[in-house]
Structure 1
Amino acid sequence: MTPDWTPLDAELALWAAEGLTLPLWWRDDDAVTTTPQLDQLTALAEDLDLPVHLAVIPAGAETALADHVAAHPHLVPVVHGWAHQNHAPATEKKAEFRAHRPLPEILAEAGQGKARLQALFGAALRPMFVPPWNRITPEVASGLPALGFRALSTATPRRNPMAAPGLAQVNTHLDPIDWRGSRGLMSPQNLIAQTATLLADRREGRADATEPFGILTHHLVHDDEIWQFTRALLTRLLAGPSQPWTMPPEEIQQ
């Protein structure tokens, strides 16, 4: 069944009528090497002419991935934790960068991750930290600027533009995967309604309209339905009053 895009189209029409512009960005998590799925992600980013921020797991990152990124400027590497290893007890949600270990040890891994990816990607690496499972404690976030990070990306609309002094918060807002159920595509109608609601919240002042609106994907686990919906959603957003956003190489833009 073809999804009914009317709710999103109507909301985008209101944005256009009010002269508003939606800053739009794209993050894709868990890259370590080249795969057919990465090729598909690359082709989609190039077809849409929309950069995709590739959250790379430093401990497993391979030279082949760096070579691929160097050949495809639509791929923008950022730091995805260290090893994507859960350190939380069984009674808590998975996390690598919450306070389950001494703070110096946690920050050392964040710095190690940035150093390793700088060695692989050079100037292409952007100073953004993406904690696995989108979970991080304020104490860890506060230590990231001293390591050279300028942005933190987790999930849901940000409460403040800055996660800590010197560290901008740039989150993702929509993930099409049904992680708690089928692990396939969530109901397209629910996703369309959710997107329209998120944009209405911005337009009507209930959420920060200046935060880049983030689409989160995970190319390694996509099936055809997820790929098709992602393409359709991004195409529609780009056709509306949107402005693609990319993390700057050095300083975050406010």
Structure 2
Amino acid sequence: MTHGWNALDAELEHWTAQDLRLPLWWRDDDAIAPSDALVRLEALATQLDLPVHLAVIPEGAVGDLVSSVQQSSHLVPVVHGWAHQNHAGADKKKCEFPSTRPVDQALADAEDGMERLKQLFGASLQPMFVPPWNRISPAMLPWLAGLGFAALSTYGPRKRVQAAPGLMQINTHVDPIDWKGSRGLAAEDEILARLVAHLEARRAGTQDRAEPLGLLTHHLVHDDQVWEFCETLLTRLLAGPAHPWRFNERIS
């Protein structure tokens, strides 16, 4: 194990000594169909007894995915945009719902995403909106609750509990993949140093301690190193102050 793991263990000991509890949630993006990777994801979630909020791409989702979800008590479907299609300009970061896109068109896609997944998953679908690439036009936010969404999830510490009236913000904070480089596991010490700094800030009260700490994964692109890191990280957190959180356990 690296220095980063030792630093994480030390920080978790501080949380335990101060009798602090850490709600922990897991979001996995880009699901469309059953796969060996999805089987591995579900098996790890079951082993850890930690639900995975499966962000499903509505346009591409196939009916066979429903049976995979229904057979598991650890897969929680949520809405991942509409088509995972980039509508940003060529010189901009990828975004399905950029500020340059007409709001009525963007909202129509979000509503179609909700309705398509309701048809597939029924009552098991949770009303969380996960915009692809974790980016969304602020102009959309006041309207999402009216479409039936109760939460928005992007990346990074939330700045406020509600993104808009009736729309809770529940973000992710740890992404183990080196997207700009190898697309495998990023440098462990760097991932862990950012996490430790985040936990220190929560413990000090300078960041929102009530927001569930979120792990963001993408099962379809994981190699063995990414899987092993996720298992080790989640096991350590759950052995310490963390406890599993799922969306229907609302938290402020």
Asked if 2 retains the 8 angstrom alpha-carbon contact of 1:15 and 1:203, the reply is yes
Q: What amino acid does structure 1 have at the position aligned with 2:240?
A: G
Q: What residue is the counterpart of 2:167 in the other structure?
A: 167
TM-score of the aligned structures, taking structure 1 as reference length: 0.97
Asked if 1 retains the 8 angstrom alpha-carbon contact of 2:24 and 2:245, the reply is yes
TM-score of the aligned structures, taking structure 2 as reference length: 0.98
Q: What residue is the counterpart of 2:52 in the other structure?
A: 52
Pair 1:201 & 2:213 matched: no
Q: What residue is the counterpart of 2:137 in the other structure?
A: 137
The one-character-per-residue Cα deviations of 1:19-78 (angstroms, maximum 9, x if unpaired) are: 110010000000000011101101110011000000000000011101100001100000
Q: What amino acid does structure 2 have at the position aligned with 1:55?
A: A
Q: What amino acid does structure 2 have at the position aligned with 1:242?
A: A
Pair 1:17 & 2:27 matched: no
The one-character-per-residue Cα deviations of 1:191-231 (angstroms, maximum 9, x if unpaired) are: 22221111101001121000000000000000000000000
Q: What amino acid does structure 1 have at the position aligned with 2:2?
A: P
Asked if 1 retains the 8 angstrom alpha-carbon contact of 2:210 and 2:251, the reply is no
Pair 1:210 & 2:190 matched: no
Q: What residue is the counterpart of 1:188 in the other structure?
A: 188
Alpha-carbon distance in 2 for matches of 1:69, 1:3:
36
Q: What residue is the counterpart of 1:89 in the other structure?
A: 89
Q: What amino acid does structure 2 have at the position aligned with 1:165?
A: P
Alpha-carbon distance in 2 for matches of 1:193, 1:236:
15
Asked if 2 retains the 8 angstrom alpha-carbon contact of 1:103 and 1:140, the reply is yes
Cα distance, 1:100 vs structure 2? 2.6
Asked if 2 retains the 8 angstrom alpha-carbon contact of 1:98 and 1:140, the reply is no
Secondary structure of the residue aligned to 2:248 is coil
RMSD: 1.0
Alpha-carbon distance in 2 for matches of 1:66, 1:99:
33
Alpha-carbon distance in 2 for matches of 1:137, 1:131:
10
Pair 1:222 & 2:227 matched: no
Alpha-carbon distance in 1 for matches of 2:142, 2:132:
17
Q: Which is worse superposed, 74-83 or 190-199?
A: 190-199
Q: What amino acid does structure 1 have at the position aligned with 2:35?
A: T
Cα distance, 1:143 vs structure 2? 1.0
Q: What amino acid does structure 1 have at the position aligned with 2:251?
A: Q
Q: What amino acid does structure 2 have at the position aligned with 1:135?
A: R
Q: Structure 1 runs of 4+ off > 2 angstroms?
A: none
Alpha-carbon distance in 2 for matches of 1:158, 1:228:
28
Q: What amino acid does structure 1 have at the position aligned with 2:194?
A: Q
Number of equivalenced pairs: 251
Cα distance, 1:253 vs structure 2? 3.1
Q: What amino acid does structure 1 have at the position aligned with 2:42?
A: T
Q: What amino acid does structure 2 have at the position aligned with 1:3?
A: T
Alpha-carbon distance in 1 for matches of 2:137, 2:14:
37
Gaps of 5+ in 2: none
Q: What residue is the counterpart of 1:110 in the other structure?
A: 110
The one-character-per-residue Cα deviations of 1:130-183 (angstroms, maximum 9, x if unpaired) are: 000000111111110000000000000001000000000000001000001111
Secondary structure of the residue aligned to 1:58 is coil
Q: Aligned residues: percent identity?
A: 57
Asked if 1 retains the 8 angstrom alpha-carbon contact of 2:177 and 2:226, the reply is yes
Alpha-carbon distance in 2 for matches of 1:226, 1:40:
12
Alpha-carbon distance in 1 for matches of 2:185, 2:142:
35
Q: What residue is the counterpart of 1:150 in the other structure?
A: 150
The one-character-per-residue Cα deviations of 1:101-150 (angstroms, maximum 9, x if unpaired) are: 21111101101100000110111100000000000111111110000000
Asked if 1 retains the 8 angstrom alpha-carbon contact of 2:99 and 2:138, the reply is no
Q: What amino acid does structure 2 have at the position aligned with 1:46?
A: T
Alpha-carbon distance in 2 for matches of 1:179, 1:74:
27
Gaps of 5+ in 1: none
